[in-house]
Amino acid sequence: MGPTRWLASDTIDTDEVSAEGTLHLIRARKATTTVSSLTAQCGDIDTNLPAIRMVTVKLVVPVRLYPGATSEAALQDTLALCNQAANLASAQAFRMRVTSRQSLQRMAYGDLKAMGLSAQPAIHVTRKVAGAYAALRANIRAGNLGDPDSKRRVSAESKPITFRADAAQPYDDRCLSWQLDRRTVSIWTTAGRLAGIRFRCSPAQLTRLREYRQGESDLVQRDGKWYLYATCDIPEPAVTGPDAFLGVDLGIANIATTDDGIRHSGKYLNRQRHRARHLRTRLQAKNTKSAKRLLKKRARKEARFAAGTNHLIAKRIVTEAERTGRGIALEDLTGIRARVRLRKPQRVTLHSWAFAQLGQYIADKAALAGIPVVYVDPAYTSQTCSSCGHVSKKNRPHQATFCCASCGFAEHADVNAARNIAARGVLGWAVSHAADDAA
């Protein structure tokens, strides 16, 4: 099994929980295919890019809890105490420069027990704190907080990590038990064990919980509602060698375009974002009680709409790849926001572009369907002719127009780019598996 990599998910609809849940981690198996040489069409390709991301298939299934008034007060007190304890452990870790799990547990365990936590919740608190510092170090190494002397990085490194009073708290099977037939849970709180708390989920989610639930579950409070995010380990589907690859070009004008010529326009999504941004600006300028109430009501509405759109597009792309027996080739757009320089009016559009989310959704759904996903170098895909391989800026006179200056081939610019991505996907798959076979 490959390494595990958790991704934060803040796009789950709090009103209607998807029956599909949220897949975070994917593992693709080795497969073989026979391809012809496509170097002339693909141009210069960085063969060091990872063609397959080898990780574990896990599914996070969110279920809604319905505690009574007394149970809800106990859950709130529990979250508050756990996060108060996490802040204490975080302060000790920062002061003593101790952030490893075992060392932090030895140092803070006694103090957390003295605050009223049971043994297992105290251990989970120290693990949560250690994980937060590990995430901070990873962000610093990746450059996500800027240069060493940047204001954001200095601020993050100069004080201990703090936790909100309602931050999520992990539970394991010693503190949480599921009665799936009755659709209830029994959960540890500071007021004692609470039994018979009802939960709601779809039949598909219930089946996954019954067959695949393993590991920890997170207790989450969001907008006055309570959830348990349960981790399910899904068996790896068999991944066979694809006959070809479906190239997907990600963009702003068109959210996703496939080499089959199917374009998923971003016009409506961009219009909704523009409207939401202007409405948010006006409400913030008013600063009245009614304006604040409306801002709170609309919180995350834009993110949920964008996530729903991306889920729909990803499902259509994966369905088409599965129907035609193809793999999926995506651009590796890591660091694109740092590389691209735009005028100020265009920066909001770039930074609200959820390409990473869409790419993750495609990879998630492809993993469940047993479809391999490869990531290719996106360099010059929009300037390269998919017919003859000629590369020139003159090939793309306008945003939506591609016309090869060498052979005269004409096509929609995004469709042409998607065809180049598909060709590079085939070559990348062949190169990576040839290296594996040689090893």
User: In this structure, is the dihedral angle defined by the CA atoms of residues 66, 69, 70 and 75, taken in order, positive or negative?
Assistant: positive
User: In this structure, is the dihedral angle defined by the CA atoms of residues 339, 342, 347 and 350, taken in order, positive or negative?
Assistant: negative
Note the pLDDT tens digit of each residue in 284-335: 888 898 888 888 877 778 788 888 889 999 999 999 999 999 999 998 877 6
Phi, psi angle pair for 304, to nearest 5°: -65, -40
Which tokens go with 26?
């994917």
Give start and end residues of each alpha helix (H) in 115-212: 119-142, 151-157, 203-212
At 346 the pLDDT is 56
Note the pLDDT tens digit of each residue in 222-231: 888 999 999 9
At 345 the pLDDT is 57
At 240 the pLDDT is 74
pLDDT tens series, the chain, 439 aa: 333 333 333 333 333 333 334 443 333 333 333 333 334 444 444 444 444 443 457 889 999 999 999 999 999 999 999 999 999 999 999 999 999 999 999 999 999 999 999 999 999 999 999 999 999 999 999 888 888 999 999 999 999 999 999 999 999 999 999 999 999 999 999 999 999 999 999 999 999 999 999 889 999 998 889 999 999 988 877 777 788 999 999 887 888 999 998 998 877 777 777 787 788 888 888 889 888 888 887 777 878 888 888 999 999 999 999 999 999 999 887 766 555 555 555 555 555 567 788 888 999 899 888 899 999 988 889 899 999 999 999 998 887 889 999 999 999 999 999 999 999 998 888 887 766 666 5
Which tokens go with 69?
């008034």
Q: Contact 375/53 with Cβ under 8 angstroms?
A: yes
Rounded Cα–Cα distance for residues 42 and 82 (Å): 54
Active site residue 249: yes
Mean pLDDT of the chain: 82
Note the pLDDT tens digit of each residue in 59-84: 899 999 999 999 999 999 999 999 99
Which tokens go with 34?
């026979």
At 282 the pLDDT is 86
pTM of the full structure:
0.73
Which tokens go with 318?
């994966």
Spatial neighbors of 87 by CB under 8 A, at least 6 apart, are 160, 162, 163
Active site residue 331: yes
DSSP H or E segment with residue 357: helix 355-369
Check 259, 331, 364, 377 and give the catalytic one.
Answer: 331
Orientation of helix 69-96 relative to helix 101-114, angle to 10° = 130
CA 193 vs CA 118, 175, 196, 312: distances in Å: 11, 8, 10, 40
- The single-letter code of the amino acid at 24 is H
Q: Contact 194/187 with Cβ under 8 angstroms?
A: yes
Rounded Cα–Cα distance for residues 329 and 358 (Å): 13
> Exposure of 339 by Cβ count < 10 A (0-12 exposed, 13-18 middle, 19+ buried)?
exposed
Helix, strand counts (H, E) of the chain: 13, 15
Active site residue 414: yes
Check 259, 364, 411, 414 and give the catalytic one.
Answer: 414
Spatial neighbors of 30 by CB under 8 A, at least 6 apart, are 52, 239, 433, 436
